[in-house]
Every structure is written in C-alpha cells, then in structure tokens.
Amino acid sequence: MDANSFYEVAGVRLAAVASNIRYADRLDLVLIEIAQGAAVAGVFTQNAFCAAPVLLARKHLQATTSSYFLINTGNANAGTGAAGRDDALRCCQTLAKLTEVQADSVLPFSTGVIGEALPVDKIESGLPEAITNLSAGNWLQAATGILTTDTRPKLASTQIEFDGKSVTITGMAKGSGMIKPDMATMLAFIFTDAQIHQELLEQKLAEAVSHSFNRITVDGDTSTNDSCMLVATGHSQVQIDAGNNSVNEEFDRALRQIFQELATGLIRDAEGATKFITISVRQGASTEECLQVAYTVAESPLVKTAFFASDPNWGRILAAVGRSGLKDLALDEIAITLGDVALISNGELDPNYAEEKAQIEMDKQEITIEIKLARGHCSETVWTSDLSYDYVKINAEYRT
C-alpha cells in the first residue's frame, strides 16, 4: 500500500510537530494517544548500551497500561547516563501533567545522534501543540515525523473481515542505517483495533518480529534505541484468541504481511541503497545455521560492493558461504543460484554458467540469491541492500 493510503485505527490518535530538536522547521516530535483498555506489547534492542528511553519504556510498560507514546528524532538520548534517564523521565512527567495521566503510562522513544544531551526544553515546548493536533487521521504526518536519514515515510495498512466486521492493522517504521536485528531493529509502531489479551499479543509480536524485522540487515550494526511496539485497542469488538483457529490464523497472516512490508520497506530505503537483495538459504540442518549463512553473505562488504557495481563476482558469495562457520560443510553438495542463473552446482562452477546471463541478473534493482546446503529441511530468508558510495558519505557526514 502506498504511504498516502491507510486505514485509521479506532482508539488511536496521532500528531507530529516541529520542535527544532536538531533541524529547523522539520517534523521531529510525534505524540501517539492510545485509548483506555488497549493492550500494549513491546520488544527492545539487545544492545548493552541501550538508550535512556529504552530503559524507561521497558520499565513503564511493565508498570501500568500505556496512554501515550512520545517519540523524538534528532537526538537518541543514548550514552547519556543518569542525566539522560532523568531527561527522558522529565519529558514523560511533563506530558503526564498536561494530559492528566500517570507519568509511567507515557512511553518515550528517541532516535538520532548518540551521546548528546536531550533538548528537554524544546520537547516540552512542543507538547501543547502536539496535544492540540492529535487526530485519528495523522498517520502520514506521524510516519514522517519519526524519520532521520530515511528518504520517505514507511506506512503499511490493511483490513480483514470477520463475520461482517472489519479489523484494521496499520503501522509505521523508521530506520535506514545502523540496521542489524537483535530483536527488532529501528523504531516501529503497529496498531490494530482487534481485541487481543496481553499474553497472546506478546506472542504475536515476538512471532511477527522474528519473520520480519529480525530478518533484515543493512550494515550489521544494532542500534542503541531499537524498539517495536504492537497495540491492540479492542475497538472493533472482534476477539482474536488462540482457540479460534481460522480467525487467529487469518489475523496472523495479515499481521505478518504488515510487519514484512515495513521491514522490507526499511531495506528498500536503506542508506545509499541501489539494490534490494533477498538471500534465501535452503536445506539447512536448523534455522540457526540457515541464518548464519544468510547473514554472513548479506553483511559481507565484498559481496555488498559487488552488488552495487552490478558485478557478477560469484567468488565473493562462495567465499562468504565458506567462512560462515558451519561445521562439516559438504562442499561438493552446495548449490548457489543468482536469480534464474545457476552459479554453483555440486560445489563448483555450474557447467552451463554464462557471465552474460549473470550480468542481466546483477543489473536488476531486485536480486535474489538462493543457497542450498543439502544438510536438512530448514529454510530462512534475509533481506539486505548493497553498499554504495552514498552509504559512506551519509554516515561520514551524519553529525554535520
């Protein structure tokens, strides 16, 4: 679905304002209001140096029901110690006072430059306008307001019918660099008007993340601020429970579709990216070893720069598979294909390989590599991007 098209989620209101946190006249403060009675689940970065808002959001999520998400860009409030935690709490307290809720019902999220003090005064100054602007239709503004180096908002939305009643799922995400899953990389906020109890919602979030945000990589770096939230407002009156298999399964398919659309949207808009690359590893002995091979290939600078150059240098792919660390790898049984072109068969260059055909595949903007390990029946897919001059430029100049 185009970012300009979306379904509103009953029980959710949003606003985005320009608070001049890092840049003038740019949407950089997003407020999301969640109706009473909603179930809220979250997963957060595994980076040991997790940011102050992550620590506080985790704590608040466990303390009480959530009323607001408060998101700022331009400043990560990471690597800021006790002062950073105090700053994040102060923002929550100010919003709580203005809206007459408990401070721990506000979950803070930040993204941007690491190691700088959070400009609390600017955030506090923007809160009254954000509260005034809250509206059920401000999805695109909110999706725009959470961006940093992204070039476009990522918004995904769908509706499904159950016995004549509609259930809506709409979500947004940001992130185009410092992307390597270690739970759910970046910021993502997904909402549904279905009724889902807390424990089941947490299960659904974990499952959806594992097949979406935990299957992408841009540069192998896990952010300090990664957070992914799933909210069920219950306003559709449609109950989703594990006992109703047909309804539950259809909802799960729709939810995974939204998560994957947002996750792959991050890769399509990765910093400096010119290629969208799917790496599929099949016939593995386990999920873990399939992912081990897939990520070794996806994060190889030599493989990624070959993609950028549209160079069918298959030796780099072969070398990455070989150094992935699998024990007792049967080299003479491995097969690798690039799109429809067989590169490796039985561990060596396919006898029908033609450079001209491989070049046609490498010239495409969307590229698929399939690796067959001949070790079992497990399969996994990872999505990644190429490594371009612009990626280096964007990250070299990130703080300027």
Instruction: Indicate whether 372 pLDDT > 70.
Output: yes
pTM assigned to the model:
0.90
Distance CA 231, CA 144 (A): 20
Mean pLDDT confidence for 301-317: 94
The Cα–Cα gap between 358 and 337 comes to 9
For the residues 323-344, what does the mean pLDDT come to?
Answer: 94
Residue tagged 């579709």 (tokens): 257
Q: What integer pLDDT is reported at residue 58 of this predicted model?
A: 93
Q: What is the pLDDT confidence band of residue 221, given thresholds at 50, 70 and 90? A: low
Q: Which residues contact 71 (CB under 8 A, 6 or more apart)?
A: 29, 30, 31, 32, 108, 109, 110, 111, 145, 146, 187
Identical fold for domains 12-268 and 276-396, yes or no, is no
Q: What proportion of the chain, given as a percentage, has pLDDT over 70?
A: 95
For residues 91-120, give the mean pLDDT: 96
228: phi then psi, degrees, rounded to nearest 5: -135, 125
pLDDT tens, 188-209? 999 999 999 999 999 999 999 9
Q: What is the pLDDT of residue 383?
A: 95
Q: CB of 32 within 8 A of CB of 142? A: yes
For position 246, what pLDDT does the model report? Answer: 85
| Whole-number pLDDT of residue 179 | 53
The pLDDT confidence band at residue 183, using thresholds 50, 70 and 90, is: very low
Q: What does the pLDDT look like over 122-166, one tens digit per residue?
A: 999 999 999 999 999 999 999 999 998 788 899 999 999 998 899
Which fold would CATH assign to domain 276-396? Ubiquitin-like (UB roll) (3.10.20)
Q: Where are the domains of the chain?
A: 12-268, 276-396
**Distance separating alpha carbons of residues 167 and 170, to the nearest angstrom:** 10
What is the band of 185 on the pLDDT scale with cuts at 50, 70, 90?
A: very low
Q: Give the residue-averaged pLDDT of 84-110.
A: 97
177 pLDDT higher than 80:
no
Question: Which member of 45, 111, 185, 337 is catalytic?
Answer: 185
Structure tokens at 257: 């579709």
Question: Is 144 designated active site?
Answer: no
Structure tokens at 27: 């949407």
Average model confidence (pLDDT) across the chain: 92
In the predicted model, is pLDDT for residue 171 greater than 80? yes
**pLDDT value for 142:** 97
**Parallel, antiparallel or unpaired: strands 165-174 and 154-162:** antiparallel
Banded model confidence at residue 245, pLDDT cuts 50, 70, 90? confident
* Rounded-to-integer distance, Cα 252 and Cα 200, Å: 11
Average pLDDT over residues 297-306: 94
Superfamily of chain region 12-268: L-amino peptidase D-ALA esterase/amidase (3.60.70.12)
Question: At residue 176, does pLDDT exceed 80?
Answer: no
Q: pLDDT digits over 38-72, tens only?
A: 999 999 887 777 899 999 999 999 999 999 999 99
- Residues 6+ positions from 67 with CB-CB distance below 8 Å: 33, 34, 36, 99, 101, 102, 105, 106
The predicted pLDDT at position 1 comes to 52
